[in-house]
Structure 1
Amino acid sequence: MSVSFNHIIIGAHDPRRSADFYLDVLGARPAPGWGPFVNILLDDDTLLQFAPAPVAEPVHMAFLMDDADFDRGYDALCRRGVDHWADPQMRRPGEISTEEGRRVYFKDPSGQMLEMLTEPYL
């Protein structure tokens, strides 16, 4: 068996609100929940599990996608009025980076720093 990424538990102030945000922006699909988790699945079947938790140390997660999904996700960010930047230092607000593919940085409803990109780093 090869190694692959299966799931991550993401602390959220409001798990349902965060899951709905990811469903809209990433185009993910709902998954059955259990216990304290609100679950969604990415296209590669990676499970994102949202659980109620304080978010003292936000994590950074990057999502690789094709151009059509990037456009759809970026439109969702704009429709929702989500602040976004072309750089992780948040010095270029309201822009996307086009230096190596397209990239945009933004925060989810609990303050987790996210990135959508069309070209992998490696």
Structure 2
Amino acid sequence: MTVSFNHTIIGSHDPVGSAAFYRTILGAREAPGWGPFTNILLDDDTLLQFASGPVNDPVHMAFLMSEEEFDRGYAILVRDGIEHWADPQMRRPNEVATDEGRRVYFKDPSGHYLEMLTQPYL
């Protein structure tokens, strides 16, 4: 058996709202929820589980996507007026990094740092 990433639990101020945000930006699919979790699935069947709780330590998550999916997600960021940057230090607002593929950084509704990219780092 190979090793692959299966799921993660993401603390959220509003799990239903956060799941909807990720579905909209990333094009993720709804998944059945259980217990305290509101779930979505990425295209590779990675499960993201949103649960209520304080977000004292926001995390960074990067999502590798095709050029077409990047264009779709980025258009939503712009359309919805979501603050975004070309760099993780947030010094280049309203830009996309284009040095190796394309990358953009933004925050989810609970303050987690997200990144969409079209080329992997490795």
For normalisation by structure 2, the TM-score amounts to 0.99
Query: By how many angstroms is 1:79 displaced?
Result: 1.6
Give the superposition deviation at 1:28. 0.2
Structure 1 residue ranges without an equivalent (≥5): none
- Following superposition, the deviation at residue 81 of structure 1 comes to 1.0
Runs of 4+ more than 6 Å apart: none
Matched with 1:69 is 69
Deviation for aligned residue 1:76:
1.1
Which deviations, in whole Å up to 9, do the C-alpha atoms of 1:67-107 show, x marking residues without a partner? 00000000111122110000000000000000110000000
Give the aligned partner of residue 119 of structure 2.
119
SS state at 2:9 partner: strand
- Matches of residues 86-105 of structure 1 in structure 2 within 5 Å? 86-105=86-105
Identity %, equivalent residues = 74
Counterpart for residue 2 of structure 2: 2
**Amino acid of the structure 2 residue aligned with 1:58:** P
Residue 104 of structure 1 aligns with an amino acid whose one-letter code is V
What is the aligned partner in structure 1 of residue 55 from structure 2? Answer: 55
CA distance in 2 between counterparts of 1:78 and 1:15 reads 23
Q: What TM-score, normalized to structure 1? A: 0.99
Q: Give unpaired runs (5+ residues) of structure 2.
A: none
* 1:23-70 Cα shifts (integer Å, max 9, x gaps): 000000000000110000000000000000100100000000010000
Amino acid at match of 2:62: A
Give the structure 1 partner of residue 85 of structure 2. 85
Residue aligning to 2:13: 13
Aligned-residue CA RMSD (Å): 0.4
AA in 1 matched with 2:51: A
Distance in 2, matches of 1:79 and 1:38, equals 25
